[in-house]
């Protein structure tokens, strides 16, 4: 009985581990590739980062104006969540930091590109629609 219980627990552990490992779906492997917004913020030393930084009214600059696009994906329809935060952090040597975040969630339908004919072309794209949840970290 103890052996059966151990094997069951081992199965559950392995199953959960597989789920966790499979949590992130690499975007390059998606059949329909999402497309970034064309614009974004021009960052000195980096170029155009295809993302805006919406901010509260009356604080432009340094933020982009209220009403600036919060999404990093174009051809998108759905829910958007975002917010800037700060807080305390500690590393493995006890050193303390301040962590700041800008983590956004996009859930909805997107129109991206897929290979029209991956056999007889070099991969020329055609538009197609899919849905999913994306997170900007």
Partner 1 sequence: MWDFSLKPPAQVHDFSPWTLPNGLFWIVKVPDSAVQFHDDGSVTLHLVDVPVVDAYTFPPPAQTVPGISPIQLNPAKLSLDITYEKGGNPHRVRPTSHDPLSPFNWAGMMWDSTNSGTFSLSYDDGSFSASGSFASNGNFGEIGFERNGVFLRDGDFDQSTDQSASSSTGSSLTNHAVVTSPSSAGERTVLLKGRVPVKVVR
Restricting to residues 111-130, name those near partner 1 by CB under 8 A: 111, 127
**24-53: which residues touch partner 1 (CB under 8 A)?**
24-28, 30, 33-41, 43-53
- Rounded to 5 degrees, what are φ and ψ at 96? -105, 145
Provide the minimum distance between the beta carbon of 38 and partner 1 in the complex, in angstroms, as a whole number. Answer: 4
Nearer to partner 1, 7 or 81 (CB): 81
Residue among 102, 115, 134 nearest 36 (CA) = 134
Q: Which helix (H) or strand (E) holds 20?
A: helix 2-21
- Rounded to 5 degrees, what are φ and ψ at 128? -155, 165
Stretch that binds partner 1, among 7-15, 89-97, 116-124 (CB under 8 A): 89-97
Nearer to partner 1, 15 or 99 (CB): 99
Stretch that binds partner 1, among 2-10, 81-89, 114-122 (CB under 8 A): 81-89
CA R_g for the chain: 21
Provide the minimum distance between the beta carbon of 83 and partner 1 in the complex, in angstroms, as a whole number. Answer: 3
Report how far residue 49's alpha carbon sits from residue 136's, in angstroms, rounded to the nearest whole number: 13
Q: Are 41 and 34 in contact (CB under 8 A)?
A: no
Q: Output the six-digit token pair for 50.
A: 């295809």
How many residues bind to partner 1 according to rule CB under 8 A? 88
For partner 1, which residue of 114, 115, 128, 136 counts as binding (CB under 8 A)? 136
Provide the minimum distance between the beta carbon of 4 and partner 1 in the complex, in angstroms, as a whole number. Answer: 29
Q: Output the six-digit token pair for 80.
A: 């958007």
């Amino acid at each position: 009985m103890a052996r059966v219980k151990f094997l069951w627990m081992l199965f559950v552990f392995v199953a959960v581990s597989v789920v966790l490992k499979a949590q992130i779906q690499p975007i390059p492997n998606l059949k329909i590739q999402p497309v970034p917004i064309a614009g974004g913020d021009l960052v000195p030393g980096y170029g155009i980062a295809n993302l805006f930084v919406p901010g509260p009214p009356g604080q432009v600059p340094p933020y982009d104006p209220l009403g600036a696009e919060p999404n990093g994906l174009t051809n998108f329809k759905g829910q958007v969540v975002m917010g800037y935060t700060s807080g305390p952090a500690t590393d493995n040597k006890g050193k303390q930091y301040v962590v700041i975040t800008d983590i956004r969630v996009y859930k909805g339908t997107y129109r991206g590109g897929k290979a029209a004919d991956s056999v007889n072309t070099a991969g020329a794209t055609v538009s197609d629609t899919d849905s999913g949840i994306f997170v900007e970290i």
